[in-house]
């Protein structure tokens, strides 16, 4: 009897240890997703980040491709086109307190054939098409008469080409909680085409994270600032905008994770009315974690205001962690 009790106790301890090992690390944190709203996707937007530090002297390198379908029809404007984002970057944990990141993001117009999928998705969930099914598919069309904007057939054009850097300082971290603060610098330069222009922007954000076993919660509150009232097609930007995001990750096993996030961005412009309203985006993702890397597949869906963000976007990402020699 005593041997049986001892055996069960040891088995339980081993299972707890294994479970702890399975869920102990949350090195990748929330999804690597970026704002897909028409204005925010081509400017500096605060990103939901991991409030925790990486192991000292570790580097995470990453790349992703996003395909998005933009549709909006109001009394003030019509938008109907595809945009795509290609990003690459890396973040380096310099020491226990400091982390540094460098990122390049290219947003361009190209036919990703999402119209059929978007229409089918809306039909399946009973969501209105808002006029999408009354025009030709796969168009590249922007019309804003109030601002004298009319662009058509701009497939292949660059919408933004931006390099940014981010520095994060660890304020607090223990087994379950983490709190960090970070700042960003962002420079966008498109030297030709209908979207020619440049901008320099700055951002600040506070990150919080909570983790217990297979559960992880993330939150971010941030602000971006522009030194001048930069504009796309003579539409004035707000100089200062706020953002909030929260997310949840559930780890079925060490390899298989699902993630859900909600991002809110203050309207980036002073007009038209829909662009000045907050944009809301829901992110649903799956992550497959390997020994030193992870694959992510994400779906980003517009919520609440249908006329100031993308209808739908899909992101495919790969992240690789170069661990320090000490680990």
Dist CA 141 CA 85 (whole Å): 18
pLDDT tens, 11-52?
444 444 444 455 557 899 999 999 998 888 989 999 999 999
- CA–CA distances in Å: residue 126 to residues 120, 123, 274: 10, 5, 23
Tell me the mean pLDDT in the region 110-134. 75
Q: Is residue 143 part of a domain?
A: no
Residue 303: closest CA among 290, 284, 319: 284
pLDDT tens, 248-303?
999 999 999 999 999 999 987 776 667 778 889 999 999 999 999 999 999 998 88
Give pLDDT, residue 20. 45
Coil, helix or strand for 52?
Answer: coil
Give pLDDT, residue 59. 98
Give pLDDT, residue 231. 59
Query: Mean pLDDT: which of 187-191, 203-207, 308-312 is highest?
Result: 203-207
Judge whether residue 133 has pLDDT over 80: no
pLDDT tens, 202-243?
999 999 999 999 999 999 999 999 876 655 666 777 889 999
Q: Is residue 144 part of a domain?
A: no
Q: Is residue 146 part of a domain?
A: no
Mean pLDDT of the chain: 87
Q: Is residue 272 part of a domain?
A: yes
Q: What is the pTM of this model?
A: 0.87
Higher pLDDT, 91 or 72: 91
Share of the chain above pLDDT 90, in %: 59
Residues 6+ apart with CB under 8 A from 301: 281, 282, 283, 284, 311, 312
Q: Is residue 257 part of a domain?
A: yes
Tokens matching residue 310 = 């993308």
Residue 294: closest CA among 313, 315, 321: 321
Domain holding 209, by residue range, is 2-74+82-134+156-322
Q: How many domains does the chain have?
A: 1
Q: What is the CATH number of the domain that holds 318?
A: 2.40.160.40
DSSP letter string over 9-34?
A: HHHHHHHHHHHHHHHS--SS-S----
Give pLDDT, residue 75. 78
How many CB atoms sit inside 10 A of residue 118's CB? 19
Give pLDDT, residue 230. 55
Judge whether residue 4 has pLDDT over 90: no
Judge whether residue 135 has pLDDT over 70: yes
Q: Is residue 299 part of a domain?
A: yes
Q: Is residue 150 part of a domain?
A: no
Q: Is residue 306 part of a domain?
A: yes
pLDDT band at 178 (very low <50, low <70, confident <90, very high): very high
């Amino acid at each position: 009897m005593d041997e049986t009790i001892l055996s069960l106790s040891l088995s339980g301890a081993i299972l707890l240890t294994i479970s702890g090992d399975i869920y102990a690390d949350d090195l990748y944190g929330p999804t690597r997703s970026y704002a897909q709203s028409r204005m925010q996707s081509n400017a500096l937007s605060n990103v939901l980040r991991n409030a925790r530090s990486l192991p000292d002297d570790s580097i995470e390198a990453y790349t992703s491709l996003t395909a998005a379908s933009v549709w909006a029809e109001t009394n003030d404007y019509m938008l109907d086109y595809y945009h795509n984002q290609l990003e690459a970057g890396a973040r380096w944990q310099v020491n226990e307190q400091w982390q540094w990141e460098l990122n390049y993001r290219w947003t361009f117009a190209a036919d990703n054939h999402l119209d059929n999928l978007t229409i089918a998705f809306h039909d399946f969930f009973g969501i209105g098409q808002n006029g999408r099914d009354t025009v030709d598919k796969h168009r590249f069309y922007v019309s804003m008469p109030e601002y004298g904007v009319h662009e058509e057939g701009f497939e292949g054009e660059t919408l933004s080409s931006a390099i940014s850097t981010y520095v994060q300082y660890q304020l607090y971290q223990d087994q379950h909680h983490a709190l960090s603060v970070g700042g960003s610098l962002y420079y966008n330069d498109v030297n030709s085409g209908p979207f020619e222009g440049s901008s320099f922007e700055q951002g600040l954000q506070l990150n919080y994270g909570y983790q217990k076993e297979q559960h992880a919660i993330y939150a971010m509150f941030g602000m971006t600032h522009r030194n001048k009232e930069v504009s796309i097609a003579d539409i004035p930007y707000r100089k200062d905008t706020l953002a909030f995001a929260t997310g949840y990750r559930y780890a079925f096993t060490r390899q298989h994770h699902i993630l859900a996030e909600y991002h809110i961005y203050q309207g980036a412009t002073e007009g038209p009315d829909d662009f000045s309203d907050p944009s809301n985006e829901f992110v649903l993702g799956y992550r497959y974690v390997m020994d030193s890397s992870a694959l992510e597949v994400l779906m980003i869906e517009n919520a609440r205001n249908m006329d100031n963000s993308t209808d739908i976007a899909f992101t495919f990402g790969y992240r690789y962690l170069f661990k320090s020699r000490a680990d």
